[in-house]
Chain A
Amino acid sequence: DGGITQSPKYLFRKEGQNVTLSCEQNLNHDAMYWYRQDPGQGLRLIYYSQIVNDFQKGDIAEGYSVSREKKESFPLTVTSAQKNPTAFYLCASSIMYRHNEQFFGPGTRLTVL
């Protein structure tokens, strides 16, 4: 089955620690995205990547970092510089230049203790 996987489903982190969220897709999509979802707010774009070894900041990139070494993988690191990291993180992918048809993974719930 083609799709997007995110791991882990739930993640707990102590303040001051960096943590990396995994996102893998086997849809052969070129573009991948990371969003953050908070209650009462729309999905907010953190980073996106159109091709391997290239990525762009979204609206709320501060305190986050990404890499795109493989087409299938787009991990997100939440650094200790992110002031309010507790949220639901969603990874998505699409055909290049088809941002309007994004496919989402199941999400990772990050809680900072």
Chain B
Amino acid sequence: QKEVEQDPGPLSVPEGAIVSLNCTYSNSAFQYFMWYRQYSRKGPELLMYTYSSGNKEDGRFTAQVDKSSKYISLFIRDSQPSDSATYLCAGGETSYDKVIFGPGTSLSVIP
């Protein structure tokens, strides 16, 4: 079993839709959870990170962590064509431990 798993997609939604991207992880010691956005043929960029359980909101993006079920979600409200990218989730035990990345979910927002 991989430590961090994601449905690879592709996920295709109409512009303006609410997008839900999900990850599961197996390491119960994870406390840090990150979402990266990666445009085609580019390096990933850190979108959000959260510590432990709960929600974190930043503009149109909300990250949610449920440690009891080892489930991580990223919600995108009012999705835009510019949101079309691959979204990588990641986890780590502490801020100085290595980060484990999921394989990414490809999202396409259709105008």
Interface size class of A (residues with CB under 8 A): 20 to 34
Interface size class of B (residues with CB under 8 A): 20 to 34
- Counting CB contacts under 8 A, is B85 at the interface? no
CB distance from B74 to the nearest CB of A (A): 16
- Counting CB contacts under 8 A, is A98 at the interface? yes
Choose among A42, A102, A104 the residue that contacts B102 (Cβ–Cβ < 8 A): A42
Residues of A contacting B: mostly: loop
Interface pair B100/A42, CB less than 8 Å apart = yes
Interface pair B46/A99, CB less than 8 Å apart = no
Interface pair A104/B45, CB less than 8 Å apart = yes
Query: How far, in whole Å, are A103 and B37 apart by their CA atoms in the complex?
Result: 12
- Counting CB contacts under 8 A, is A17 at the interface? no
Q: Mark B1-33, 1 if CB is under 8 A from A, else 0.
A: 010100010000000000000000000000010
Interface pair A43/B88, CB less than 8 Å apart = yes
User: Which B residues are closer than 8 A to A by beta carbons?
Assistant: 2, 4, 8, 32, 34, 36, 41-46, 49, 88, 90, 92, 95-104
User: Which A residues are closer than 8 A to B by beta carbons?
Assistant: 4, 6, 35, 40-45, 48, 58, 90, 92, 97-107, 109
